[in-house]
Amino acid sequence: MLSLSFSAGMLGIEGYVVRVEADSSPGTPAFTIIGLPDRALGEARERVRAAIFNSGFGYPAGRLLVNLSPADVRKEGPAFDLAIALALLAIDEQLDRLALQSVLALGELALDGTLRPVSGILPMVIGARNAGFRKLLVPERNAEEAALVDGIELYAVDSLQSAVSVILGHGGKWRRATTPPQLEPNDALAYGDLADVRGQRGAKRALEIAAAGGHNLLFVGPPGCGKTMLARRLPSILPPMTLAQALEVTKIYSVTGLLTNHRGIVSTRPFRFPHHTISQTALVGGGPMAKPGEISLATNGVLFLDELPEFGRSAIEVMRQPLEEGTVTIARASGTFTYPARFQLVASMNPCPCGFRGVRNAECRCDDAAVAKYVSKLSGPLLDRIDLQIEIARVPFDDMVRRDDGEPSRVIRERVIAARAVAAERFAGTGLTCNAEIPASQTRTYCALDEAAMQLLAHASAKRQFSARALDRIARVARTIADLATSESIRAEHVAEAIQYRSLERLDGRAA
């Protein structure tokens, strides 16, 4: 006797439909699952058997065989449990087989028959809808996430019994797809307010420029000067995510099992802060099933790398391509996967190995050779991709104890949003979203300099030997500075300020 149900699996961060074929034949009782299941899925035999018995249903007799198709794609995770159980119940007609084939079921079964949430619900529901399914069964605790997808009838069930009731037409909880919540004002301050930072006026200005143009940023300064505190507050001045951006982030977090809120959608821009001992695989993604890494988890948000020279050379150098293209491609035996990686890089480092070079009343024993060796851990091509390189010093005592509040993130954010709106109007119909994304071939079009600005840039380039990529990035930063100043043209003062943010080569004498 043969029955059929449907579930969904994951390929990278994309969902696809899986046919669950169940067959019963005479012989010694046995239960086999084929179709390249992983260990967690192989253990579904015992979970499903116990769930069926403890839910009060009859267990099919004979030799049971379950095939997961397509059979040449490895399946992982417990999300197939519910579909397997329903297919087994349909074998001896405890369910209507035709009604079962119009439903796609997702969820992990507990031994008592209750349904537990699973990772990757959002991309799997999107894959099911795109494949033509309109009626879906999902665990109740995944309902808010699944409800982000429109065009489906979504039944949130809490047990195998509830799922069977829905198939038999006896009702069940149904959630209509809803509009995702918008970013709340307090969400933007999840990582702190810039008003909390005392002093550091130049660093705050650099953060504002970075937020307005989507530029990468590097802070260079001694320990205790506030580099981490500043970096953590960048999300507070970034514009709210669009609906498409929020869904993209939610999709990635769903696949990796990192959704922790009950609203279903990630409405706050991500801020990822990996330790310097992180491996290349954990940073860019990979592993046996090619999961997204930190650079993908930071999509549409901020990736903060503290003490950048302490990271493994191979780990940070592999970010060069994602920084340019906004995606990362991972090739494994199971396939080739492309993940989004459009993030803002914020990094920090000390001015020397001990950290106290140039600090008043602090002894630094690092000679010029030691400083050059320390800075040389970062390659020129990587530094070229960091638009803003800022040297900051410790905050004087008077500034730290001063009671007057600094400018709050809310005010700065309004200027950033206004500058982004100017850029959006300029890039209408091009697919570009911010100045940092301007391709080199269009830099002269969007970042045209007036005569005085061009002469200033030529003089600076002759003196400091800027690379072609560095010149492009200076022009993009100048474009952002002009946008913040509501200036249609890029003037000499805008270029002068942009050149000031290419300061790292002064530490070791290397050209930008």
Give mean pLDDT in consecutive 10-residue pieces for the chain, a chain of 512 residues: 90 90 88 86 89 92 91 87 94 88 94 92 93 92 87 90 89 51 56 82 92 93 88 92 88 84 75 92 80 92 93 86 87 78 93 81 82 83 86 75 76 94 91 89 88 90 83 92 92 92 60 39
- In eight-state DSSP terms, residue 330 is E
Total Cβ atoms within 10 A of residue 494: 25
Q: What is the residue type of 463?
A: K
pLDDT at 261: 57
pLDDT reported for residue 162: 92
CATH number assigned to the domain with residue range 2-176, chosen from the 4 options 3.40.1400.10, 3.90.1570.10, 3.30.230.10, 3.30.70.360:
3.30.230.10
Q: What per-residue confidence (pLDDT) applies to 219?
A: 93
Predicted local confidence at residue 187, as pLDDT: 61
Identify the pLDDT of residue 412: 93
- CATH 3.40.50.300 in the chain is located at 185-508
Token pair of 2, please? 């043969």
Give the pLDDT confidence score for residue 373 in this predicted structure.
85
Write down the CATH number for the domain with range 185-508.
3.40.50.300
Using left for φ > 0, alpha for ψ between -120 and 50, and beta otherwise, residue 192 falls in: left
pLDDT for 175: 52
Strand order in the sheet with 135-139: 30-34, 63-69, 14-25, 2-11, 104-105, 135-139, 153-157, 174-176
Q: Which residues pair with 328 in a beta bridge?
A: 339
Give the residue range(s) of CATH 3.30.230.10 domains in the chain: 2-176
pLDDT at 508: 45
